[in-house]
Amino acid sequence: MEEKCLEAMIGIAEDMYEQMREGKIPELRIATRTKHNIEFNEDSEVWVYGDRKSVRSAKAVKGAYQLLRMAYVIDFLKEQLNQNRSSTLRELYYISENWEKGKFNEQQESDRLIEDLEILTVFQREHFHIRPEEDGATVIGPLRIREETRRGVKEIHCQDDVGEGGYQIPINVDRIDFVNHDAKFVIAIETGGMRDRLVENGFDEKFNAILVHLKGQPARSTRRLLKRLNTELNLPVVVFTDGDPWSYRIYASIAYGSIKSAHLSEYLATPPAKFIGIMPTDIIRYDLPSDKLTDKDIKALSSILTDPRFDSDFWKKEVNLQLELNKKSEQQALAKYGLDYVTDVYLPDKLSESGII
């Protein structure tokens, strides 16, 4: 796999060289990463990039620097693969400090260039031996896995063999084998506080549920794990988040695929995932404590109304209601009725209505 990945990267550099050798100004064409260039794939039921392309050309100074940095990165990744070493996204950014003309101004630039290489080569950053900083997302539940470690292969039960924090999801989830399980469904939870509440209340044991802590916007490894639990173990996946536009986007990245990584949607997205998080209708139904929407919230909700991933009667109704109410609410607002309410009432209600239990 690494050899093919290396060939694909070197092919990009060779193409730029050939353009210059022929007296042309080098350029690259790459899929435009906006919500206006994602389309629904009927076969895989996920959102992927469409046909719109952006041009990175050396005609402009900015474009020339982008192509130069890509050449630097390809050279660095080539050496890294040849030496069978790896680095983090953060390390790559700092490594560029030594590149006289190719230094990145901020990490967002180097992160985006790695995404460019993923799109152009059809390989993932893990194949480049590039990894994120430690994510910290965890799993607790009736699931036994087999994992390759530096000290060999070991089996771990995600209830019996882990602490209160749970089993930490590794960067490369495909190195995990599922041995067996007693689970009936998977619940992905946005916040650590709510994950802890469910664990303390014994939700995973009572409902035979696998709890996956998303830790905010979920990392690729977390989304890949949810995908595998759904497709390989045939377990329903539900997503439990706060009731605000940023949380709805968390759900969208899990179920529909994210806009910035739409090239990986078929690998990461879980289309059957159901949303059971706090909704505007829940603010009314459960009379939940709430906060006023900020200007950023309102702008984000308006953006969701034009996002093709949310183009359904359900989301349009809920988002428009939220704008009308001018309110948002958190998972923890359910504590208004006591610490057991979320596990004794709210989640059983939502899971029953969703046909999960």
Catalytic residues: 94
60-77 per-residue burial string, b: 16 or more CB within 10 A, e: under 16: eeebbbbbbbbbbbbebb
Q: Give me 39's structure tokens.
A: 């389309």
User: How many other CB atoms are found less than 10 A from the CB of residue 151?
Assistant: 6
What are the tokens at 220?
């690729």
Q: How far is CA 278 from the centre of its chain?
A: 20
CA distance 192 to 195: 5
d(CA 166, CA 127): 27
CA distances to 172, 189, 214, 327 from 287, in Å: 42, 22, 26, 12
In sequence order, which residues have a C-beta less than 8 Å from that of residue 253 and are 6 or more positions away? 217, 218, 223, 269
The 8-class DSSP code of residue 326 comes to T
Question: Which residues, including other chains, have CB under 8 Å from residue 23's CB and lie 6 or more apart?
Answer: none
Give the integer Cα–Cα distance in Å for 133 and 22.
Answer: 41
One-letter amino acid at 335 equals A
DSSP letter at 329 equals B
b/e per residue 192-207 (b: at least 16 CB within 10 A): bebbbbbbebebbeeb
